[in-house]
């Protein structure tokens, strides 16, 4: 039995799970487990309580932990990046975003974004290495922040 803290409501859940394996990604451990709603992934540091029910189970025939993990990462990315932005990037900006560069000069690229709020912060981290062209809402937010910073640092 697993009691777990998740990011969406209800924040705390309790489920009977069948642990299939552990995966380490970027310094974080994840539990892959079967349960009444299928195979799920749980961040180990969000598990509040884990109790052994004494029940026996078998990992399904043909279950491949590595293949499941790769598929769940693809699904996560697809759900996470629901929009896109059109940007112009310097060669350094393209390198930092992992976008193929045209070499010297600016490169135009469409990049997936999670939301305008999230993209606003991510693109500001690139400083002068990026110009947001679309969507207009994102371009306006970045331009407003840049104007506010310019006013603050004006000598």
The answer to whether the beta carbons of residues 89 and 111 sit under 8 Å apart is no
Distances (CA, A) of 148 to 11, 120, 145, 154: 37, 14, 5, 10
Q: What is the pLDDT of residue 80?
A: 67
Q: What is the pLDDT of residue 24?
A: 94
Q: What is the pLDDT of residue 102?
A: 77
Q: What is the pLDDT of residue 150?
A: 94
Which residues make beta-bridge pairs with 47?
4
Q: What is the pTM of this model?
A: 0.54
Q: What is the pLDDT of residue 122?
A: 93
Distances (CA, A) of 14 to 32, 35, 37, 47: 15, 11, 13, 10
Which residues in the chain show pLDDT less than 50? none
Q: What is the pLDDT of residue 81?
A: 65
Q: What is the pLDDT of residue 47?
A: 96
Cα–Cα dist 44/64, whole Å = 20
The answer to whether the beta carbons of residues 126 and 97 sit under 8 Å apart is yes
Structure tokens at 107: 């490169």
């Amino acid at each position: 039995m697993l009691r777990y803290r998740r990011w969406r409501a209800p924040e705390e859940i309790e489920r009977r799970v069948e642990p299939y394996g552990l995966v380490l990604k970027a310094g974080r451990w994840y539990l892959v487990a079967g349960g009444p709603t299928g195979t799920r992934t749980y961040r180990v540091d969000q598990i509040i309580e884990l109790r052994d029910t004494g029940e026996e189970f078998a990992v399904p025939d043909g279950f491949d932990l590595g293949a499941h993990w790769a598929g769940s990462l693809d699904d996560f990315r697809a759900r996470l990046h629901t929009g896109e932005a059109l940007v112009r990037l310097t060669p350094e900006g393209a390198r930092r975003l992992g976008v193929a560069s045209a070499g010297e000069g600016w490169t135009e690229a469409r990049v997936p974004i999670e939301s305008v709020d999230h993209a606003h912060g991510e693109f500001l981290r690139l400083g002068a290495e990026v110009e947001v062209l679309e969507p207009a809402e994102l371009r306006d937010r970045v331009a407003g922040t840049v104007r506010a910073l310019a006013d603050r640092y004006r000598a």
